[in-house]
């Protein structure tokens, strides 16, 4: 039986100085989910982060923003997942993706970490790469040496608008993600709205 997502983790760095940076795109997504469901994040020391609980179709779904800084994200994910007995394939990690242009969203299960320190630590802490990932495109600076500076800075206005609209549009796939209909979720997430000109 296919189970749906029970834990959605948005990746980012805590602190006001990081709020608007590209690396915090995962935070933006779970904050949008919480706002749409009138849920609020509360500090949860035992989960090393801010957590919000949703009740969806008589099921409990958790939203999590780790407060550990990016390279220790797995500590928060494994703490909440083990406490509530949530399996890796019931976890969705939402993160910024250098290999996709701004405005693009892609869903996939498993795979490597692609140099993303948050994913790297989650894979290490869970002991498997077989969790779902929602990749939010932020673009690439074109030079590997410029990546750290790039992800820790805010997007340009045009890029921010593309990312924001991708976040909003991708929320349409949330019911399918929660019900476990991942093929339908992929169709919703990967199809550009018609108004963008085919």
Measure the CA–CA gap between 90 and 43, rounded to whole angstroms. Answer: 22
Annotated binding-site residue? 71: yes
The DSSP code for 130 is -
- CA distances 21 to 17, 77, 91, 153, 163, Å, are 8, 22, 24, 5, 12
User: CB under 8 Å to 12, separation ≥6 — which residues?
Assistant: 18, 23, 24, 25, 26, 27, 28, 65, 66, 70
- 23 noted as active-site residue: yes
Annotated binding-site residue? 117: yes
Annotated binding-site residue? 69: yes
Which residues are registered as beta bridge partners of 42?
51
Annotated binding-site residue? 84: no
Catalytic residue, chosen from 23, 48, 95, 116, is 23
The DSSP code for 17 is G
Interaxial angle between packed helices 157-170 and 25-36, expressed in degrees from 0 to 180 and rounded to the nearest 10: 50
Measure the CA–CA gap between 129 and 55, rounded to whole angstroms. Answer: 27
Query: How many angstroms separate the first and last alpha carbons of the chain?
Result: 37
Residues in binding site for tRNA: 18, 69, 71, 117
Residues noted as catalytic: 23
Residues in binding site: 18, 69, 71, 117
């Amino acid at each position: 039986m296919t189970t749906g997502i029970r834990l959605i983790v948005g990746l980012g760095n805590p602190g006001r100085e990081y709020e608007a940076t590209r690396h915090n795109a995962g935070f933006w997504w779970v904050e949008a989910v919480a706002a749409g469901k009138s849920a609020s994040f509360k500090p949860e020391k035992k989960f090393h982060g801010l957590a919000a609980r949703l009740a969806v179709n008589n099921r409990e779904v958790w939203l999590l923003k780790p407060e550990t800084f990016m390279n220790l994200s797995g500590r928060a994910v494994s703490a909440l997942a083990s406490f509530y007995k949530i399996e890796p394939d019931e976890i969705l990690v939402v993160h910024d993706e250098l290999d996709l242009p701004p405005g693009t969203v892609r869903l996939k299960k498993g795979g490597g970490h692609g140099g993303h320190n948050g994913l790297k630590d989650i894979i290490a802490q869970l002991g498997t790469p077989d969790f779902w990932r929602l990749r939010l495109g932020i673009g690439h600076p074109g030079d590997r040496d410029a990546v750290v500076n790039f992800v820790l800075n805010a997007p340009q206005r045009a890029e921010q608008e593309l990312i924001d609209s991708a976040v909003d549009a991708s929320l349409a796939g949330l019911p399918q993600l929660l019900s476990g209909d991942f093929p339908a979720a992929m169709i919703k997430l990967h199809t550009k709205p018609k108004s963008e000109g085919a």
